[in-house]
């Protein structure tokens, strides 16, 4: 990430910050969706994370930590989204445009398995979901997750174990 870009954004340059949004937005959204399993709420969480980042960016000590910091802000925004709306998730996962749907027995099993995961995922807390997503989707190690979320490695390990 371009340190000059981050510096300019920290000085109130909205164009520079918009560039950061364009560069990082997709990745953050991907993570938010996978934690929240809802596109609208994921958009809200990403928006919240970026606006918090904009507001607090002048205080960021180390520009090289921007991305990790953004993930932290995003995860906290996701926690807030989860707390706001505690509702029972319907058992059937909605079919979306990118879901080809089952065509074979294996695929049907896969759909059932996915539904099972969806249900189970919604029963897990935001903190556990975040750790699962960061490890299994982003590929972060336990130590990396601990650093980003400000947790001890032990806590990360236990959350991963519990969530799985």
Partner 1 sequence: MTRELDFDRTLEDWLAEGPSQLPDHAIDGIVRQLDETPQRKHWWLPGRGGVNLLVPTLAGAAATGVVALFALGIYFGNPSGVGGPPVSSPAPIPSASPTDQQSPASTASPELEGRLFESERYGYALRLPDSEWLVVERRGEWGLGTTFDQDGPGIDSLLRPRLADYPFEVYLNSQLLPEDTTFDAWLSQYDELQRETFPHCVTEGESGSAAVDGEIARVGTVLCDEDGDQWFVTESLWQHGQRVYSLRVAEGHDWSLELDTAAESELWLSRITHSD
Note the residues at the interface with partner 1 (CB under 8 A): 10-14, 17-18, 21-22, 25-26, 28-30, 33-34, 37, 39, 42-43, 46-47, 50-51, 54-59, 61-62, 96, 98-99, 113-114, 117-118, 132-133, 136-137, 164
Q: Which is nearer to partner 1, 117 or 143 (CB)?
A: 117
CA–CA gap between residue 4 and residue 99 (Å, rounded)? 41
- The closest of 79, 56, 53, 77 to 67, measured between CA atoms, is 53
The nearest distance, CB 62 to partner 1, in angstroms, is 7
Q: Which is nearer to partner 1, 23 or 152 (CB)?
A: 23
The nearest distance, CB 113 to partner 1, in angstroms, is 6
The nearest distance, CB 12 to partner 1, in angstroms, is 2
CA–CA gap between residue 100 and residue 106 (Å, rounded)? 13
- The closest of 52, 66, 63 to 24, measured between CA atoms, is 66
Q: Which is nearer to partner 1, 16 or 149 (CB)?
A: 16
- Residue 47's SS3 state is helix
- Judge contact between 142 and 161, C-beta under 8 A: no
Q: Which is nearer to partner 1, 154 or 164 (CB)?
A: 164
The nearest distance, CB 159 to partner 1, in angstroms, is 14
């Amino acid at each position: 990430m371009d340190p000059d870009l981050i510096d300019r954004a920290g000085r109130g340059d909205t164009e520079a910050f918009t560039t950061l949004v364009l560069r990082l937005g997709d990745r953050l959204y991907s993570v938010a969706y996978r934690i929240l399993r809802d596109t609208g709420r994921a958009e809200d969480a990403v928006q919240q994370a970026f606006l918090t980042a904009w507001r607090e960016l002048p205080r960021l000590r180390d520009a090289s930590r921007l991305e990790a910091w953004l993930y932290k802000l995003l995860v906290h925004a996701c926690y807030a989204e989860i707390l706001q709306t505690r509702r029972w998730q319907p058992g059937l996962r909605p079919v979306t445009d990118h879901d080809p749907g089952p065509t074979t027995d294996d695929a049907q099993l896969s759909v059932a398995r996915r539904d099972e995961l969806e249900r189970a995922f919604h029963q897990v807390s935001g903190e556990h979901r975040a750790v699962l997503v960061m490890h299994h989707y982003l590929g972060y190690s336990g130590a990396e997750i601990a650093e980003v979320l400000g947790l001890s490695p032990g806590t990360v390990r236990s959350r991963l174990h519990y969530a799985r």
